[in-house]
């Protein structure tokens, strides 16, 4: 923490986690003076010294862009992924995927798809942060330990103090299922922490649903929680004026969609008599932004292939992981201008990496182009993790000597040949 | 008969969805070779094509790189001599798709009719719902002679699905109606969110926490069901059955009235 | 560059031109007088005998924002069935009921439309709505801000703050969200649903705030009038879709006591509860009211048969209707102490009594409202049908024989219950031009759009006359956007980017401080990062922010 100076900038938006707190105060040099949590303050405010490379050898930015365009132009089935960047970067990334007939998926979307699959086949009944903040009198969270990646979650969603619509905020009940301990800011609130095996979350939610509906399962416990405890939780949700059921999509394993679906059924059952709504915890790496931008530009969500007939979506086949495992992609363009989508180890394909940090250890990517960090280095727009509110982030410091993702992709795109390509 | 023999090295996976009997019938060899695949390649680029009498379509495959064989087929017969890639028989509404080897993930997804037989084993999400659809298989028969992966019969709505080997985790999840028969052992958490379908087993599953245990009961319906399943699967289970089963009703989490029956 | 459109038949109701033959001259994106110096055109289009109108303006179409994106995610089949690849500089896209942004712009232009307005901008989602609209090529855009279920306003009303404070608040929010109008959806009902109230009539009070919907509508209509917005309060009445709701609609008109208002998708609010099935047409009552009440404008919200999705801010109604979903799925969301949204896929079937009657009710309204300047052609895209059905709808209005053929094909009981077959009226080309161009531009205050006079923006559609009006309006011969030829024979020949129309309002400084504090305290976010600016919108180098200065009336 530095000393507050007269040229300090207020209301800065933090790019480091999907809460995108927007009350930070930073110095003219971009050093956080107030509002930053341990994650935010753990990031250096120094502009890193980075060098574009081709096969590990230093080159000029123009050379690197040219090589990236050449590779993309040759590729039959490029995978455009990572996608941890601001909205303008994402708009440019969809355009490149479209232009190159490539695949489009975020680098950390597995958890997100547990929720999206259910939304697409069944629907959803959701709430958003300000409603939780002012309305929730019971909050039940199914998550292992999300607080370390969302340090100011409680400060933002359930701050101590008054609620607009709950006369007795002190009586607000918070139940953390699966979490091994409560985060510090919650000390003093009515918090119940119940260890549970969240790989059995689907069963757990079905049991809760049965209890809310007045049917009692013939088991003594579920997912490690005694049935009497579950009865209490069901009762609390049923008695709540506005119960909120929150969950961490990524904590339910590869078939976590079944758990999300069971939670949706629980929420529907609750709404037969009172109000309740769901709240997936915000996913990292600006997945929510990548989802929104891809969806409005292509009409289809992430995991789309831009085929010769138009966008084709397949949530199973066109996931980043499956595309790489199946050998369907022949080039990877990975974008990582902010935290949340680390380049995985890819041995057998050429990789073009656009990153605001140095490439990970190991063999260098075929092309590496350093890019500016959104918010810090240039004005940008982020979707907060819940996907509803998008914020304008004014830059923190004088511009870094790197182009933004949008600018870099525009440079590459201008050099692409306009030929027929055939992925999938 | 039209024989499509997969060439040794494919540049990438290919989608053979267009090559169903109705689409190939009446085409000359040259016309078939010139057909475009969804992936932009021509049939002749990836298959050696031979043609003789009859409309049966035969795929001779090398590996699981050929996806969507028999997708959307409504009539006729396809035989796959070798492994099939993903989504074999997806959205098929009629006819017969016989895979002599193994089948990949998503075989029979969104199928509404016809017969799909896999002689080997099959992957995950066999007979499940197409992305974003409210329900899965809505008709016809799927017979897997080997074992099958996870989510077998996911949200099935109608028809019969049989696995003679084991079935993986989350079998019959959210099944709305229809019959799913697994002769081998099940993975974890079967029949979650079951609505009205029947899951017929020969080995008791580990646990059914959201089902009501009705004990072992006389099940007259088995007198009809078992012989008909035997006929479909070429088995002789009815012979040794006394038509009693351990019956479980649920899933109570979704007010379901489905049943899990374990043959006694 | 000087362009001439030579010898067309002009339909320009703003100047009472009804099919007269004439030339149009275009220079620098504007319609200009014939050059006095006898200058020759650089480009000459001989369109002798063709029909010329200003570009179409869609006054109510859900084209962008969080709810539209949710609808896209929900409507997978729509995007599997309808898709197009990138070609000739155009971007790929998909969907008809919920088209991608590029598809939306292309398709509007291909029908000769050059502007469309998103009618349901949720406060906290305003930036998202603009981001999407910025990615819609070919047409001008604008949004109406949804107020009347936002807790700030409801608090102000419940604590009986003076009207001037309400006015300031409305002006501030319209400015901060870059909108050009204000809409109210199910007045008080979206908020009440969050308190577990499941129905709300005009004579009931809302849960928690104990506010009567009358009072909310009245105050907001007053504010919209006082701050000088040209477009009157855009009202989605309570009780959408409920049999007998025409009474609510009439009561709403009474509640505003002569203030100008716009009743939206009035088809959904013109239902009686007569007959064996307790569902009947009250179109005649509503049309009679409109004919007798000059302060009221309506848009239609015509339903058409086929698959679509209903996308609305009205969570209360959508939650209630979720069971009618086809396919059976739905999304509802409570949003940020501002409002909500609800999506329910819907398949209107011509053999279904209710669906068929809805279709006839919409057409009856069109034909029974006398003044074409006060009714606008919409399907409430995608709620009644995708906007791509407009050419078909135009034919239904212009061609009685065709209309009666279609009437003969719908549910027998619905056809028998309807007066549609006995109505002889056929719309003329002149009236269609009012419905789709001149009327919308006038009611939105777009002085330089929707007409062919000198100084107007050269947004122009040229149609080859055809006995089948659907064919004619489906594929214009030529379309110009701001003077550039963008469509020829129904094909996009050039991608352009339209403007965003925004009202420029005045408001007191004190309200800004108050709202800043409210945001920080209750929303936990900063007003400064929420406010949308011209600089931000134009930063992508292709959006253009066109401000319309308002004269405050009070
Ligand atoms: S909680 Fe997240 S957004 Fe807020 S300061 Fe910490 S890292 Fe930044
Ligand atoms: Zn609408």
User: How is residue A391 written in tokens?
Assistant: 């914020």
Tell how far the Cα of C305 is from the centroid of ligand 2, in angstroms. 18
SS3 label, residue B45 = helix
Each residue's pLDDT tens digit, A245-302: 999 999 998 899 999 999 999 999 999 999 999 999 999 999 999 999 999 999 999 9
Nearest bound ligand to the CA of residue A12:
1
Tell how far the Cα of A38 is from the centroid of ligand 1, in angstroms. 8
Q: Kindly state whether C516 is in contact with chain A, defined as any CB-CB distance less than 8 angstroms.
A: no
- Strands C181-185 and C233-236, bridge-based pairing: parallel
pLDDT category of residue A162 using cuts at 50, 70 and 90: confident
Mean pLDDT of the region A136-157: 93
Among partner residues A218, A308, A422, which is closest to B212 by beta-carbon distance? A218
Q: Kindly state whether A141 is in contact with chain B, defined as any CB-CB distance less than 8 angstroms.
A: no
pLDDT category of residue B88 using cuts at 50, 70 and 90: very high
Tell how far the Cα of A21 is from the centroid of ligand 1, in angstroms. 6
Q: What are phi and psi of A154, to 5 degrees?
A: -70, -35
B-chain CB neighbours of C328 within 8 Å are 134
Percent of chain C with pLDDT over 70: 100
Nearest ligand 1 atom, CA A152: 1
Find out whether the beta carbon of A17 lies less than 6 Å from any atom of ligand 1. yes
Predicted confidence (pLDDT) at residue B220 exceeds the cutoff of 80: yes
CA distances from C365 to C271, C299, C323, C357, C526 (A): 11, 10, 28, 12, 45
Q: At what angle do helices C163-176 and C213-226 cross, to 10 degrees?
A: 70
Q: Which of C327, C331, C343, C347 to mutate to test the interface with B (most CBs of B within 10 A)?
A: C327
In B, minimum Cα distance to A259 occurs at B192
Q: Which residues are paired to B6 by β-bridges?
A: B47
Q: Which of A155, A162, A299 to mutate to test the interface with C (most CBs of C within 10 A)?
A: A299
Q: Touching A: which chains, 3+ CB pairs < 8 A?
A: B, C
Residue A419, Ramachandran bin (φ over 0: left; ψ between -120 and 50: alpha; else beta)? beta
A-chain CB neighbours of C85 within 8 Å are 306-310
pLDDT category of residue A151 using cuts at 50, 70 and 90: very high
B-chain CB neighbours of C74 within 8 Å are 132
Mean pLDDT of the region B226-254: 96
Measure the CA–CA gap between A168 and A163, rounded to whole angstroms.
8
User: Which DSSP helix (H) or strand (E) runs through B162?
Assistant: strand B158-163
Mean pLDDT of the region A346-358: 96
Mean pLDDT of the region B85-114: 97
Find out whether the beta carbon of A350 lies less than 6 Å from any atom of ligand 1. no
Q: How confident is the model at residue A418, as a pLDDT? A: 64
Q: How confident is the model at residue C358, as a pLDDT? A: 98
Predicted confidence (pLDDT) at residue A419 exceeds the cutoff of 60: no
SS3 label, residue A255 = coil
ipTM of the complex: 0.97
SS3 label, residue A416 = coil
A-chain CB neighbours of B173 within 8 Å are 258
Average pLDDT, chain C: 96
Lowest mean pLDDT among A30-44, A153-167, C179-193: A153-167
Q: Kindly state whether C90 is in contact with chain A, defined as any CB-CB distance less than 8 angstroms.
A: no
Q: Which residue has the tokens 């090398």?
A: B62
Q: Do C334 and A127 touch (CB under 8 A)?
A: yes
In B, minimum Cα distance to A421 occurs at B40
Find out whether the beta carbon of A20 lies less than 6 Å from any atom of ligand 1. yes
A-chain CB neighbours of C326 within 8 Å are none
Measure the CA–CA gap between A32 and A9, rounded to whole angstroms.
10
Q: Do A130 and C336 touch (CB under 8 A)?
A: yes
Pick B12 or C41 by higher pLDDT.
Answer: C41
Measure the CA–CA gap between A109 and A290, rounded to whole angstroms.
10
Task: Classify residue B129 by its DSSP letter.
Answer: P
CA distance B192 to chain A (A): 7
Q: How confident is the model at residue C510, as a pLDDT? A: 94
Nearest bound ligand to the CA of residue A391:
1
Q: Kindly state whether C329 is in contact with chain A, defined as any CB-CB distance less than 8 angstroms.
A: yes
Each residue's pLDDT tens digit, C88-111: 889 999 999 999 999 999 999 999
Find out whether the beta carbon of A293 lies less than 6 Å from any atom of ligand 1. no
pLDDT category of residue A98 using cuts at 50, 70 and 90: very high
Q: Do C336 and A388 touch (CB under 8 A)?
A: yes
Q: Kindly state whether A213 is in contact with chain B, defined as any CB-CB distance less than 8 angstroms.
A: yes
Tell how far the Cα of A376 is from the centroid of ligand 1, in angstroms. 14
Measure the CA–CA gap between C84 and B226, rounded to whole angstroms.
49
Asked if residue C193 lies in contact with residue C319, where contact means CB atoms within 8 angstroms, the answer is yes
Q: Touching C: which chains, 3+ CB pairs < 8 A?
A: A, B
User: How is residue B50 written in tokens?
Assistant: 């031979």
Predicted confidence (pLDDT) at residue C507 exceeds the cutoff of 90: no
Work out whether the CA dihedral A154, A155, A160, A163 comes out positive or negative: negative
Tell how far the Cα of C156 is from the centroid of ligand 1, in angstroms. 33
Nearest ligand 1 atom, CA A150: 1
CA distance A257 to chain B (A): 11
Q: Which of B130, B132, B133, B155 to mutate to test the interface with C (most CBs of C within 10 A)?
A: B132
DSSP string, C242-309: -TTTHHHHHHHHHHTTT--EEE-SGGGG-EE--TTTT-EE-HHHHHHHHHH-TTEEEE-----SEEEE
Nearest CA to ligand 1 atom 4: A21
Q: How confident is the model at residue A424, as a pLDDT? A: 42
Report the b/e string of A325-353 with b at 16+ CB within 10 A: ebebbbbbbbbbbbbbbbbbebeeebbbb
User: Which DSSP helix (H) or strand (E) runs through C382?
Assistant: none
Q: How confident is the model at residue C324, as a pLDDT? A: 93
What number of CA atoms fall less than 13 Å from residue B249's CA on the CB side? 8
Measure the CA–CA gap between A400 and A377, rounded to whole angstroms.
6
Each residue's pLDDT tens digit, C389-403: 999 999 999 999 999
Among partner residues B13, B87, B209, which is closest to A219 by beta-carbon distance? B209
Predicted confidence (pLDDT) at residue A1 exceeds the cutoff of 50: no
Q: Do C93 and A299 touch (CB under 8 A)?
A: yes
Q: Do B252 and A217 touch (CB under 8 A)?
A: yes
Nearest CA to ligand 1 atom 5: A36
CA distance A154 to chain C (A): 11
Q: How confident is the model at residue A187, as a pLDDT? A: 64
User: How is residue A65 written in tokens?
Assistant: 């862009």
Predicted confidence (pLDDT) at residue C419 exceeds the cutoff of 60: yes
Q: How confident is the model at residue A422, as a pLDDT? A: 42
Predicted confidence (pLDDT) at residue A12 exceeds the cutoff of 80: yes
pLDDT category of residue C202 using cuts at 50, 70 and 90: confident
Q: Touching B: which chains, 3+ CB pairs < 8 A?
A: A, C
Q: How confident is the model at residue C508, as a pLDDT? A: 84
Which residue, among C152, C309, C320, C314, has the nearest Cα to C220 in the 3D structure? C152
Measure the CA–CA gap between A192 and A189, rounded to whole angstroms.
9
pLDDT category of residue A423 using cuts at 50, 70 and 90: very low
Nearest ligand 1 atom, CA A38: 6
Q: Which residue has the tokens 């010898």?
A: C7
Tell how far the Cα of C43 is from the centroid of ligand 2, in angstroms. 40
pLDDT category of residue A185 using cuts at 50, 70 and 90: low
Find out whether the beta carbon of A32 lies less than 6 Å from any atom of ligand 1. no
In C, minimum Cα distance to A387 occurs at C66
The structural domains of chain B, ordered by start, are 62-263 (2.160.20.60)
Average pLDDT, chain A: 93
Give the C window 174-203 contacts with A, CB below 8 Å: 193-196
pLDDT category of residue B49 using cuts at 50, 70 and 90: very high
Q: Which of A15, A19, A146, A148 to mutate to test the pocket of ligand 1 (most atoms within 8 A of CB)?
A: A19
Q: Do C333 and A311 touch (CB under 8 A)?
A: no
Find out whether the beta carbon of A376 lies less than 6 Å from any atom of ligand 1. no
Nearest ligand 1 atom, CA A155: 1
Predicted confidence (pLDDT) at residue A369 exceeds the cutoff of 90: yes
Q: Do A217 and B169 touch (CB under 8 A)?
A: no
Measure the CA–CA gap between A25 and A13, rounded to whole angstroms.
9
Q: Do A295 and C529 touch (CB under 8 A)?
A: no
Measure the CA–CA gap between A4 and A13, rounded to whole angstroms.
18
Q: Which residue has the tokens 């609800």?
A: C342
Q: What is the dihedral of CA A108, A112, A114, A116, to 10 degrees?
A: -130
Inter-chain contacts counted by CB atoms under 8 A, chains A and C: 200
Which residue, among A351, A362, A369, has the nearest Cα to A61 in the 3D structure? A369
Find out whether the beta carbon of A39 lies less than 6 Å from any atom of ligand 1. yes
């Amino acid at each position: 923490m530095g000393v507050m100076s007269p040229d300090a900038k207020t209301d800065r938006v933090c790019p480091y986690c999907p809460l995108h707190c927007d009350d930070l105060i930073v110095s003219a040099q971009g050093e956080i003076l107030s509002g930053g949590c341990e994650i935010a303050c753990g990031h250096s405010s120094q502009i890193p010294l980075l060098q574009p490379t081709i096969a590990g050898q230093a080159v000029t930015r123009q050379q690197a862009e040219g090589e990236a365009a050449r590779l993309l132009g040759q590729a039959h089935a490029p995978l455009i992924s990572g996608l941890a960047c601001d909205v303008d970067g994402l708009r440019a990334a969809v355009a490149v995927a479209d232009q190159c007939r490539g695949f489009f998926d975020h680098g950390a979307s597995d958890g997100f798809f547990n929720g999206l699959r259910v939304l697409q086949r069944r629907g959803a009944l959701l709430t958003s942060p300000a409603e939780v903040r002012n309305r929730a009198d019971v909050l039940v969270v199914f998550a292992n330990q999300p607080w370390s990646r969302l340090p100011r979650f409680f400060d933002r969603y359930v701050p101590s103090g008054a609620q607009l619509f709950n006369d007795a905020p002190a009586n607000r009940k918070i139940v953390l299922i699966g979490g091994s301990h409560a985060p510090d800011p919650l000390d003093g609130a009515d918090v119940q922490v119940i260890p549970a095996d969240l790989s059995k979350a689907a069963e757990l939610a079905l049991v809760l649903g049965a209890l809310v509906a007045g049917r009692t399962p013939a088991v003594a416990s579920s997912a490690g929680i005694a049935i009497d405890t579950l009865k209490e939780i069901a009762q609390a949700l049923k008695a709540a004026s506005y119960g909120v059921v929150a969950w961490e999509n990524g904590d339910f394993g590869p078939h976590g969609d079944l758990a999300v679906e069971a939670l949706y059924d629980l929420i529907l059952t609750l709404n037969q008599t009172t109000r309740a709504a769901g709240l997936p915890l915000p996913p990292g790496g600006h997945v929510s932004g990548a989802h929104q931008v891809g969806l409005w530009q292509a009409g289809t969500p992430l995991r789309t292939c831009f085929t010769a007939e138009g966008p084709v979506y397949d949530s199973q086949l066109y996931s980043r992981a499956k595309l790489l495992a199946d050998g369907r992609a022949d080039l990877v363009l990975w974008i990582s201008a902010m935290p949340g989508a680390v380049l995985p180890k890819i041995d057998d394909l050429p990789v073009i990496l656009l990153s605001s940090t140095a490439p990970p250890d190991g063999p260098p990517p075929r092309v590496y182009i350093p890019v500016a960090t959104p918010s810090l280095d240039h004005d940008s727009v982020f979707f907060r993790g819940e996907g509803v509110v998008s914020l304008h982030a004014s830059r923190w410091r004088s511009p870094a000597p790197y182009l933004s993702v949008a600018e870099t992709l525009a440079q590459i795109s201008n050099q692409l040949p306009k030929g027929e390509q055939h992925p999938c | 008969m039209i024989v499509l023999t997969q060439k040794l090295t494919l540049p990438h996976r290919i989608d053979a969805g267009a090559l169903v009997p109705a689409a190939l019938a009446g085409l000359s060899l040259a016309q078939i070779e010139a057909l475009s695949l969804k992936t932009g390649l021509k049939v002749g680029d990836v298959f050696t094509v031979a043609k003789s009498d009859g409309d049966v379509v035969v795929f001779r495959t090398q590996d699981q790189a050929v996806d969507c064989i028999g997708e959307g087929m409504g009539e006729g017969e396809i035989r796959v001599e070798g492994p099939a890639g993903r989504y074999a028989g997806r959205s098929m509404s009629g006819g017969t798709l016989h895979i002599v080897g193994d089948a990949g993930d998503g075989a029979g997804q969104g199928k509404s009719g016809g017969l799909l037989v896999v002689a080997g084993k099959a992957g995950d999400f066999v007979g499940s719902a197409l992305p974003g659809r409210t329900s899965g298989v809505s008709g016809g028969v799927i017979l897997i002679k080997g074992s099958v992966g996870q989510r077998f019969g996911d949200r099935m709505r109608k028809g019969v699905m049989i696995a003679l080997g084991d079935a993986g985790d989350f079998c019959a999840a959210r099944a709305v109606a229809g019959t799913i028969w697994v002769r081998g052992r099940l993975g974890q958490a079967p029949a979650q969110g079951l609505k009205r379908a029947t899951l017929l087993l020969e080995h008791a599953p580990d646990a059914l926490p959201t089902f009501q245990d009705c004990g072992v009961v006389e099940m007259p319906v088995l007198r009809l069901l078992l012989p008909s399943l035997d006929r479909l699967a070429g088995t002789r289970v009815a012979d040794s059955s006394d038509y009693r089963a351990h019956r479980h009703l649920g899933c109570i989490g979704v007010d379901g009235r489905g049943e899990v029956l374990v043959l006694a | 560059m000087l362009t001439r459109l030579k010898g067309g038949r002009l339909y320009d109701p703003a100047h009472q031109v009804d099919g007269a033959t004439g030339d149009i001259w275009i220079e620098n994106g504007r319609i200009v007088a014939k050059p006095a110096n006898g200058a020759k055109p650089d480009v000459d289009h001989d369109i002798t005998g063709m029909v010329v109108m200003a570009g179409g303006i869609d006054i109510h179409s859900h084209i962008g924002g969080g709810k539209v994106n949710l609808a896209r995610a929900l409507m997978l089949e729509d995007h599997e069935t309808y898709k197009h690849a990138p070609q000739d500089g155009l971007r790929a896209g998909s969907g008809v009921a919920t088209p991608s942004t590029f598809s939306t712009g292309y398709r509007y232009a291909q029908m000769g439309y050059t502007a469309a307005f998103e009618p349901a901008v949720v406060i906290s989602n305003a930036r998202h709505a603009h981001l999407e609209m910025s990615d819609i090529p070919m047409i001008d855009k604008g949004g109406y801000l949804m107020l009347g279920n936002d807790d700030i306003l409801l608090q102000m009303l419940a604590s009986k703050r003076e009207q001037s404070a309400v006015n300031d608040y409305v002006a501030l929010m319209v400015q901060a969200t870059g909108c050009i109008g204000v809409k109210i959806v199910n007045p008080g009902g979206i908020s009440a649903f969050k308190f577990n109230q499941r129905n709300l009539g005009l004579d009931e009070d809302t849960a928690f705030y104990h506010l009567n919907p009358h009072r909310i509508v009245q105050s907001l209509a007053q504010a919209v009038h006082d701050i000088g917005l040209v477009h009157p309060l855009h009202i989605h009445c309570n009780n959408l879709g409920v049999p007998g709701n025409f009474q609510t609609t009439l009561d709403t008109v009474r509640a505003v006591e002569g203030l100008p208002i716009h009743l939206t998708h009035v088809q959904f609010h013109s239902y009686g509860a007569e007959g064996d099935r307790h569902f009947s047409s009250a179109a005649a009552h509503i049309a009679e009211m409109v004919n007798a009440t000059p302060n009221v404008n309506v848009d239609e919200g015509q339903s058409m048969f086929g698959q679509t999705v209903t996308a609305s801010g009205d969570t209360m109604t959508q939650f209630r209707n979720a069971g009618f979903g086809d396919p059976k799925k739905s999304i509802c969301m409570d949003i940020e102490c501002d409002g909500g949204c609800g999506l329910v896929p819907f398949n209107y079937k011509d053999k279904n009594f209710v669906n068929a009657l809805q279709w006839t009710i919409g057409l009856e309204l069109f034909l029974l409202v006398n003044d074409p300047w006060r009714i606008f052609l919409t399907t409430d895209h995608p709620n009644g049908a995708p906007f791509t059905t407009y050419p078909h709808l135009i034919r239904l209005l212009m061609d009685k024989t065709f209309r009666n053929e279609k009437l003969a094909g719908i549910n027998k009981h619905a056809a028998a219950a309807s007066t549609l077959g006995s109505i002889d009226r056929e719309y003329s080309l002149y009236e269609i031009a009012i419905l789709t161009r001149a009327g919308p531009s006038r009611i939105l205050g777009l002085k330089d759009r929707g007409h062919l006079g000198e100084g107007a923006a050269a947004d122009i559609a040229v149609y080859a006359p055809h006995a089948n009006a659907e064919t004619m309006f489906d594929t214009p011969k030529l379309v110009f956007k701001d003077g550039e030829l963008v469509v020829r024979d129904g094909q996009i020949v050039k991608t352009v980017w339209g403007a965003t129309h925004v009202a420029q309002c005045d408001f007191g400084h004190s309200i800004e401080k108050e709202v800043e504090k409210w945001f920080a305290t209750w929303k936990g976010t900063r007003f400064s990062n929420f406010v949308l600016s011209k600089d931000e919108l134009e930063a992508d180098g292709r959006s253009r922010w066109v401000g319309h200065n308002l004269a405050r009336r009070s």
